[in-house]
Amino acid sequence: MTDLETAERRIGELHSLIRYHSHRYYQLDDPEITDAEYDRLMLELLDLEERFPGLASPDSPTRRVGAAPLEKFSAVRHPTPMLSLANAFNVEDILDYHERIRRLLGGESAIRFVVEPKVDGVAVNLVYENGILAVGATRGDGAVGEEVTQNLKTIRSIPLRIGPPPDDEREETATTPHPERMEVRGEVFIDTESFRNLNRRRLAAGQPAFANPRNAAAGSLRQLNPKETAKRPLDIFCYALGEVRGASFRSHWEALQSLSRWGFPINPHIRRAESIRDCIDYYHSMAGDRSALPYEIDGIVIKVDALSLQSELGSVSRSPRWAIACKFPATQETTVIEDIVVQVGRTGVLTPVAVMRPVRIAGVIVSRATLHNQDEIDRKDIRIGDTVMVQRAGDVIPEVVKVVVSRRTGQEKTFAFPESCPECGSKVVRLEGEAAHRCIGLACPAKIRECIKHFASRGGMDIEGLGDRLVSRLVETGHIKDPADLYGLQAEHLFRLERMAEKSAGNLLQAIERSKNPPLEKFLFALGIRHVGERTSGILARTFQTLDRIMAATADDLVGIRDIGPEVAASIVKFFQEPSNRSVIEKLRSAGIAIREPETLQEQPLPLSGKSFVLTGKLNGMTRNEAQRILASLGGSCLDSVTKGTDFVIAGESPGSKLRKAREAGITILDEKGFLELIGRK
Give backbone dihedrals phi and psi of 412, rounded to 5 degrees, phi first: -70, 150
For helices 276-289 and 91-104, angle between their N-to-C axes, nearest 10 degrees:
150
Secondary structure of the chain: what % helix, strand, coil (to 5)?
40, 20, 40
Residues forming the active site: 118
Return the HEC string of 504-567: HHHHHHHHHHHCCCCEHHHHHHHCCCCCCCHHHHHHHHHHHCCHHHHHHCCHHHHHCCCCCCHH
Looking at residue 392, the DSSP 8-state letter turns out to be E
In angstroms, what CA-CA distances link 602 with 126, 354, 543, 606? Answer: 56, 52, 11, 9
Residues 6+ apart with CB under 8 A from 558: 564, 568, 569, 572, 573
Is 252 in contact with 239 (CB distance < 8 Å)?
no
Rounded-to-integer distance, Cα 27 and Cα 66, Å = 9
Give the CA-trace dihedral at 614, 618, 621, 622, to 10 degrees: 60
DSSP letter at 118 equals: E
The answer to whether 386 touches 408, Cβ cutoff 8 Å, is: yes
DSSP string of 570-596?
A: HHHHHHHH-HHHHHHHHHHHHTT--PB
Distance, in Å, from the CA atom of 82 to the CA atom of 140, rounded to the nearest integer, reads 9
> What's the Cα-to-Cα distance from 280 to each of 271, 330, 664, rounded to whole Å?
12, 18, 35
Distance (Å, whole) CA 316 – CA 321: 7
Residues near 76 by beta carbon (within 8 Å), at least 6 away in sequence: 135, 137, 144, 145, 146, 147
Burial classification of residue 500, based on how many CB atoms lie within 10 Å of its CB (0-12 exposed, 13-18 middle, 19 or more buried): middle
Question: How big is the chain by its Cα radius of gyration, in Å?
Answer: 29
What is d(CA 532, CA 618) in angstroms, rounded to the nearest whole number?
25
Helix 35-51 / helix 3-22 crossing angle, nearest 10 deg: 150
How does 581-599 read in b/e, with b if 16+ C-beta sit within 10 Å? beebbebbeeeebebebbe
**Integer Cα distance of 281 and 115 in angstroms:** 11
Rounded to whole angstroms, the Cα distance separating 521 from 534 reads 7
**What is the rounded CA–CA span in Å between residue 128 and residue 183?**
6
Give me the residues paired with residue 388 across strands: 335, 403
User: Per-residue b/e over 80-104, b at no fewer than 16 CB within 10 Å?
Assistant: ebbbbbbbbbeeeebeebbeebeee
Measured between alpha carbons, how far is 389 from 399 in angstroms, rounded to an integer?
9
Q: Of 678, 675, 557, which Cα lies nearest the Cα of 620?
A: 675
Coil, strand, or helix at residue 157?
coil
Please give the C-alpha separations between residue 377 and each of 141, 338, 393, in angstroms, as whole numbers.
Answer: 35, 15, 18
Sequence-distant (6+) residues with CB within 8 A of 671 are: 650, 651, 652
